[in-house]
Amino acid sequence: MAAPVSVSGTQVVVDGKAFAIRGAAGEQQLGELAGLGATTVRTYGGDPGPVLDAAQQAGLKVIVGLWVEHPRRGVDYADRAFVDKQLADFSQTVEKYKDHPALLMWGIGNEVESELADDGAVWPAIEEVAAMVKAADPAHPRIAVLAETGADKVAKLRVAAPSIDVLGINAYGDALYSVVARARDQGWTGPIVITELGARGQWQAATAPWGAPFELTSTQKAIELRRYIAALDKQGVGIILFFWGWKQEVTPSWHSLRLPSGEWTEAAESMAEAWGGRTPEGNHAPRIAALRLVANPSQPYASVGASEPWQVELAASDPDGDRLDIRWVVRQESRIRTVAGDFEPDAEVMADAVVATENGARVRALPVGKYRLFVEIRDGRGAAATANLPFEVR
């Protein structure tokens, strides 16, 4: 049977004790996640059975997401046929899994209000789902997840959706320092979970002249994450990092805490250090000190002629002295940019476009276009580092 979960003041309580929500979003490698000191994993939708079972085996609790469809994708919440079908689907999920011992709470949607000129239909839609879930399973709280606080989104949720017990906020970059205060200023007095926490997002980054955002290296991301986790831990809120897996969003590495091949990055060390855990075998990820142009080391992008090869220098090391496997690839700049985490196809790989050198790489002449040079560094023991540099061929 699931442990009784309740809300008391600003805390989530499990079996009568305050429960520290700390973990990541994702459904794979949950044993490794638990080893970092995590307590919780978050899902977004679909059948939660497999992840609930895996989490139970790993000793984790699950925030089970119910994917409330987004109006920005054409859903009309005045369409009762759609609304009733969605509610019926959620009801089946709740009835099936409400007694699972790994269940922590129900996630009512994710950024349902995003990208709307008028979000007035969203808040009653969230309440209708939350009220249904509350009636079916009063033993587990409901959390609604917003894309940041906005000027008044938290206040709207608080007034229109009284069946929501916990506030979830997806926030990135230095906005994380003030997000809790901004939510409290809008009147939220209950528990808060940062349901997606990450280093600066693509919408926050500086860009090349043609608009390509600059991505931090995995080392720089880990430095930022250490600061954000420490600041939020002091405020007693829940922390869920994004994303304990791999996801194409602008690049394959921007929000990914792991490589497609499974290796974890230094972000895992940030989590373990904060939460009293350890990485597998106590291993450390490779570090990247710099990925820079040979011709202009201070410039974070390249702009070259169509017949002009160019070079980069890589400064990388491994804290454990492991031998490093360094792999280079050039991809076209992502041409399809979605919003709110929607699916993006992988950018095309340019075959034979880059050659490794003794201390970096040389990019061969390419057709006119916009590209990125990527490097992945593996230590052969399950950890990795990533970096990339945008460039144009004019």
Domain residue ranges in the chain: 5-282, 287-393
Q: Which of 356, 359, 377 is nearest to 287 (CA)?
A: 377
Task: Characterize 162-179 residue by residue with b for buried, 16 or more Cβ atoms within 10 angstroms of its Cβ, and e for exposed.
Answer: ebbbbbbbbbbbebbeeb
Which residues in the chain come in under a pLDDT of 50? none
Position 340 scores a pLDDT of 66
> Under a CB-based contact definition with an 8 Å cutoff, are residues 30 and 248 in contact?
no
Apex 234 CA angle, 143 and 16, nearest 5 = 50
Alpha-carbon gap, residue 359 to 357, rounded angstroms = 6
What CATH number does domain 5-282 carry, 3.40.50.1700, 3.40.50.920, 3.20.20.80, 3.40.1280.10? 3.20.20.80
Closest CA to 135 of 127, 125, 124: 127
The CATH code belonging to domain 287-393 is 2.60.40.10
Residue 255: its pLDDT value, please?
A: 97
SS3 of residue 365 by DSSP: coil
Tally Cβ neighbours within 10 Å of residue 120. 12
- pLDDT number for residue 1: 65
| Alpha carbon distance 389, 371 (integer Å) | 9
Q: What is the pLDDT of residue 335?
A: 83
